[in-house]
Amino acid sequence: MAKKKCPECKEGSPAWMATYGDMVTLLMCFFVLLFAFSSIDAQKFEAVMESFQGSAGVLSGGKSLSEAPFVFDAMPESKTSKESVVEMKKLENLKTEIEEYLEENDMEAQITLELEARGLVIRFEDNVLFSSGSAIINPNYYEVLDFLVGLLTTDELISEEIRVEGHTDNVPVNTSKHPSNWELSTERATNVVRYFVEAAGMSPQRISAAGFSEYRPVASNDTEEGRAANRRVDVVVVNQQADLEEDEE
The CA-based angle 99-105-109, given to 5 degrees, is 65
Say which residues have a Cβ less than 8 Å from residue 133's Cβ, sequence separation at least 6: 173, 175, 178, 184
DSSP 173: -
The pLDDT assigned to 219 comes to: 96
Structural domain of residue 53, as residue ranges? 45-75
Residue 194's nearest CA partner among 240, 171, 162 is 162
Q: Given 34, 57, 75, which residue is the final one in a domain?
A: 75
Q: Do 56 and 128 sit in the same domain of this protein?
A: no
The pLDDT assigned to 248 comes to: 54
Q: What is the SS3 assignment for 59?
A: strand
DSSP 105: T
Residue 133's nearest CA partner among 194, 190, 177, 191 is 177
The pLDDT assigned to 42 comes to: 58
The CA-based angle 231-102-203, given to 5 degrees, is 75
Strands 232-238 and 111-116: what pairing? Answer: unpaired
Q: Within a 10 A sphere around the Cβ of 163, how many other Cβ atoms?
A: 19
Listed as ranges, residues in the chain with pLDDT below 70 are 1-13, 37-80, 243-249
The pLDDT assigned to 129 comes to: 96
133 occurs within a structural domain: yes
Say which residues have a Cβ less than 8 Å from residue 50's Cβ, sequence separation at least 6: 61, 63, 66, 68, 71
- For position 230, which CATH number holds? 3.30.1330.60
Q: Given 27, 55, 75, which residue is the final one in a domain?
A: 75
Q: Do 71 and 106 sit in the same domain of this protein?
A: no
Q: Given 25, 54, 75, which residue is the final one in a domain?
A: 75
User: Starting at the edge strand that comes first in sequence, how are the strands of the sheet with 207-211 ordered?
Assistant: 111-116, 119-125, 232-238, 162-167, 207-211
What confidence tens digit (pLDDT) does each residue in 46-76 have?
A: 655 555 555 444 445 555 444 555 444 545 5
Q: Is the pTM above the cut of 0.85?
A: no
What confidence tens digit (pLDDT) does each residue in 154-168 have?
A: 999 999 999 999 999
Q: Do 52 and 136 sit in the same domain of this protein?
A: no
The pLDDT assigned to 27 comes to: 85
The pLDDT assigned to 241 comes to: 80
The pLDDT assigned to 203 comes to: 94
